[in-house]
Amino acid sequence: MDLMERVPVATQPPLDATDVVSWCQALRALGGPVPEDEAIEQVAALERLKSAAAAAQARVSATLWQARVARETDAGVPADQRGRGLADEIALARGEHPSRGSRHLGLARALVEELPCTLDHLATGTTSEWAATVMARETAVL
């Protein structure tokens, strides 16, 4: 049984950005000398963590999109202008060029709204963000 199976999700308290920042600080300690089998386990666990983080970013981004559009709808913003600028904000938050924000937001919305099984695989680390991106791209025309 691997670590992901040993930690029940339902018993986890809600997380906030401070928790995630503390994990980032804790991860800085990895990379010291350990037995080879442990090093391989760390690499595998970190890969699952990257996938889980990508899934969480997708869920947060899609939820933010829904909240922003709802708020702007209530405020009377014209339909073609709702959510404008959010992709740039997401890119900035991710430390990426604004042109990539719309791709991230589009992927997030596709995973949450159209590809929940792919999102589940991403969240459990059984697929990568790249594979989820390819899945979304290849199924977009269906």
Q: Give 10's pLDDT tier (boundaries 50, 70, 90).
A: low
Query: Which run of H or of E encompasses 51?
Result: helix 36-74
pLDDT tens, position by position, 68-118: 999 999 999 999 999 999 999 999 999 999 989 999 999 999 999 999 999
- The CA distances from residue 124 to 47, 62, 65, in Å, are 10, 18, 23
Residue pointed to by tokens 């037995």? 35
- Lowest-pLDDT choice from 30-39, 62-71, 76-85: 30-39
pTM of the model: 0.83
Do residues 83 and 72 lie in contact, with contact meaning Cβ atoms separated by under 8 Å? yes
The CA-based dihedral angle spanning residues 119, 124, 127, 133, taken in that order and rounded to the nearest 10 degrees: 30
